Structure 1
Amino acid sequence: MSKIGFIGLGIMGRPMAGHLLDAGHELVTVKRGSLDATLAEKGMREVASPAAVAAEAEVIITMVPDTPDVEQVLFGEDGIIEGLKPGTLVIDMSSIAPMPTQEFARRIHEAGGEYVDAPVSGGEGGAINAALTIMVGATVEGFERAHPILEVMGKTITRIGGHGAGQTCKVANQIVVALTIEAVSEGLLFASKAGADVAKVRESLLGGLAQSKILDVHGERMINRTFDPGFKIKLHQKDLNLALEGARTLNLALPGTANAQQLFQACAAHGGEDWDHAGIVRALEELANHQIGQS
């Protein structure tokens, strides 16, 4: 069993840390308000700073919102690098920009650590059920060291390539997810506006070529009007910004991604940045002057 530092106990991080505790690992985190009672009961401890976490841990996992947050935790005042011991494995499971990830990896390696980028897909449900898809950028050695820990939290764990490759895969994932949520929204909105029983339309589509996990999970959210996150629109906006910034660098057009980002922005303008990303349907409903399920 390992001594693991876990920084970032949000919607996804809490259940992920819980699985590691259940597996017998010893966990320490940075004190931020009140520690989740369940994690405290399982033995998670708190210390004052990321540097203090690093001083105690053999493995450090970060699960924070954005690229600047990872940089601050790693290299800011009292950051991980200040307490990093030689040989420490640093696993960043946040969803951040690929190019800075490569620089973070270089700096951690120069300080004597091993860096792995390992963003996840599967949402809150995947985190709770330890069924996340984990996309890894690492050296072969780093991947082999990280794998036994990652498999406690995930179901599909794939080394995509070297440092930054996991983050590149996650950006691609977020493009596909956003466009698929938009497609499901448009399909169900069309069916509802045409007067069909939208629940039965969804049931039928789940048996055909249009079947997808997004149609299953997010289609149900749209019909039932349950937009508590899951995965917040503002976080998906952040991921699509990474996609569009990367596309400009690559001289690549991503028109569907740009359109999905505009719909997310419309949601945010209506106070919906903290809605689940299935809430993109509400922007389309506004344009149609029709809500799914209305007669």
Structure 2
Amino acid sequence: MQFQGTADYVADKDLMIAVNAAIRLERPLLVKGEPGTGKTELARQVAAALGLDILEWNVKSTTKAQQGLYEYDAVSRLRDSQLGDERVNDVKNYIRKGKLWQAFATETKCVLLIDEIDKADIEFPNDLLQELDRMEFHVYETGETISAKIRPIVIITSNNEKELPDAFLRRCFFHYIRFPDAETLQRIVEVHYPGIKKTLLRNALTQFYEIRETPGLKKKPSTSEALDWIRLLVAEDVDPADLRGEAKNALPKLHGALLKNEQDVHLFERLAFMARRDR
């Protein structure tokens, strides 16, 4: 079972090595990187490439580790008991399976995505140590132990918003997705927009990297934002010469796809004003 990338996802050699190493070691793959660099999509593409189903657990700030295992609906059971419902005689009727339980219960190998684990409380990763390590957990309400029939491929993403515990990191295979260089980003764009004009693509990428490297920029535009911007350039049939002819510090065309806060917009407005004044 080897991941070689897909026609819809440009994966470099190091990333493919990391995915395959995690599969071989049967360890969770922890993927970090800037937002918009394809971490979530990686899990989907691994599943597609290997012909596996995928279960996605999207973590929020309020998410608890227990929700990934199961939740016991005591309120519904109390209400049903008051109504004389016979379902109350079997506690299993009030157990809701979480994503980990679903992954453990599958008859075939699957991919389990735990997306943006760093959004949750700092104790969240620690609370999953045993379950991810032993691939089993205990259901206290029923007294049963749920063990993985077939160990899933676990891919965990993080935007690096907070540090993860050392004990958790020890159990993972780690890979950091670096921001793609111009050649790799060109390949990514061509996958999404085959047949794009070479001159437009070259000039757009030149301006895009100049924007990312602008000193004082609060939020650098990501890969996904580059794709949105280039999509708009194609849709508006922008002349490649217009991109090449713009001043380096000018506010870029359709800048709302790249600059996502007023501080960065004001930065480019000031730079454009200064460039005009110095001519």
TM range (shorter): 0.3 to 0.5
Which of the two has higher C-alpha Rg? Answer: 2
Higher helix share: 1
**TM-score under structure 1 normalisation?**
0.32
